[in-house]
Copies of this chain bind each other. A is one copy, B any other.
């Protein structure tokens, strides 16, 4: 990307004190010198928002009291100065109104996952995006890792043959106790149906698991059979789920998602088995991809290492053996998205490799998945078709 000395300007909604993911978005956004954070409405508490803006070195005049104010004021600024896109890092129930308003004001949108509070909102966002012509990125950030892209590309070009079996685990232990009772900010809203939506664990991390399956395999889930549980007393949403999967091509699979698995950190693992080979990737050691073969020795691919394919290389910053982590993977989404909207705003065709970021289709499919899982679990694990859901 040649941006000729001009960074793409970003605003943020949410991400005030105590909001882990907001800080990640900000670090990810600026990492490559392509994006500049110029404004924000970081908290519903104006004082906290101000403090946050100050710590980030923002111009006071561009730290807003509300997202509504932000969109209005920014839209009045000269094009050279005003924000180009907004990053939405609030709890789920606010994604829709903010994203809607942002697009209506003409801003492009980066929004955390799950896309919306429910299916209807998700579908509406797609309509608004089409009407307004705004670009949209949903931060399914795990697809940003180079070795995830390596896996996807190897599968796409047929290396492991027709896929038969997919296993995804996404295990955490941080909600093994009733952390929400302590007032911890992350736990509070993620276990609260009025802010998180119909699903807890499945919405928070199951949705990532669904997305990485589809991204890597290129397959769509056709049916699911789910058994969700609330292990922690008085919790209002699921904190654990086991889900059988069937795919359109006849493949089978399993998804395990849990936030009460004591000792697990952020253990997202995917294994895909084809007729000729299989791939294994694990987020906590993200720079390694293990590929096993029917008749040959197992191979290990490494970020920036030998035999790495173009899509992985494009999303890598360092030589092999210099670990890239969560922030760098996240930054790949921002860089690809920013490059794309920059090109579009200049009237150029975006480079194909920069179109590689998750969008509204991913977000909508994710919502359909969540709702199907809830339905199946409520029906004592009957199979539910995903296609019926949209």
- Which of A27, A54, A271 has the most chain B CB atoms inside 10 A of its CB? A27
How close is A266's CB to chain B, nearest CB, in angstroms? Answer: 3
With contacts A262-B277, A323-B326, A381-B225 taken as known, whether A254 is within 8 angstroms of B252 at the C-beta atoms is no
Residues in chain B near residue A33, CB distance under 8 A: 26-27, 30, 37, 55-57
Contact A298 B263 (CB under 8 A): yes
Contact yes or no, B294 A297, CB < 8 A: no
On chain A, the number of residues with a Cβ less than 8 Å from chain B's Cβ atoms is: 97
Chain B residues with CB below 8 A from A164, complex form: 231, 240, 260
CB <8 Å contact, A263 and B277: yes
Asked whether B165 lies within 8 Å of A260 as measured between CB atoms, the reply is yes
Q: Report yes or no: B381 in contact with A317, Cβ–Cβ below 8 A.
A: no
**What residues on B are CB-neighbors of A174 within 8 Å?**
319
- Residue in B closest to A164 when the chains form the complex, CB atoms: B231
Assembly CA distance A254 to B254 (angstroms): 9
Whether a CB of chain B sits under 8 angstroms from the CB of A74 is no
- Which residue of the partner chain, among B297, B320, B322, contacts A306 with CB atoms under 8 Å? B297
* Interface assignment of A313: CB less than 8 Å from any CB of chain B: no
Stretch touching chain B among A4-12, A83-91, A115-123, A362-370: A4-12
| Chain A residues numbered 41-56 whose CB sits less than 8 Å from any CB in chain B | 53-56
Q: Is the CB of B253 within 8 A of A318?
A: no
User: For A283, what are the chain B residues with a Cβ–Cβ distance below 8 Å?
Assistant: 321, 323
A218 at the interface (CB under 8 A from B): no
- Interface assignment of A267: CB less than 8 Å from any CB of chain B: yes
| CB-CB nearest in chain B for A295 | B306
A60 at interface (Cβ–Cβ under 8 A)?
Answer: yes
User: Would you call B242 and A262 a contact (CB within 8 A)?
Assistant: no
- Are A167 and B256 touching (Cβ within 8 A)? yes
Docked complex Cα distance between A160 and B173 (Å)? 13
Chain B positions within 8 Å of A296 at CB level: 306-307
CA distance A262 to B296 in the complex (A): 11
Please, what's the 1-or-0 string for A23-42, where 1 marks a CB less than 8 Å from any CB in chain B?
A: 11011001111001100000
- Contact check, A278 vs B261: say whether CB atoms are below 8 A apart: yes
A197 at the interface (CB under 8 A from B): no
Closest to A172 in B: B321
The answer for the CA separation of A7 and B176 in the assembled complex, in Å, is: 40
| Contact (Cβ within 8 A) B57 A7 | yes
Q: Mark A170-195, 1 if CB is under 8 A from B, else 0.
A: 00111011000000000000000000
- CB-defined A-B contacts under 8 Å, sample of 14: A2-B55, A20-B318, A24-B318, A31-B327, A225-B225, A225-B244, A244-B381, A263-B291, A263-B292, A264-B273, A286-B323, A296-B307, A297-B305, A323-B326
Which residues of A does B touch, CB under 8 Å?
Answer: 2-7, 20, 23-24, 26-27, 30-33, 36-37, 53-58, 60, 160, 164-165, 167, 169, 172-174, 176-177, 225, 227, 229, 231, 240, 242, 244, 246, 252-254, 256, 258, 260-267, 271, 273-278, 283-287, 291-302, 305-307, 317-328, 380-381, 383
The 7 closest A-B pairs by CB, nearest first: A263-B292, A265-B321, A266-B321, A325-B325, A323-B325, A298-B300, A322-B326
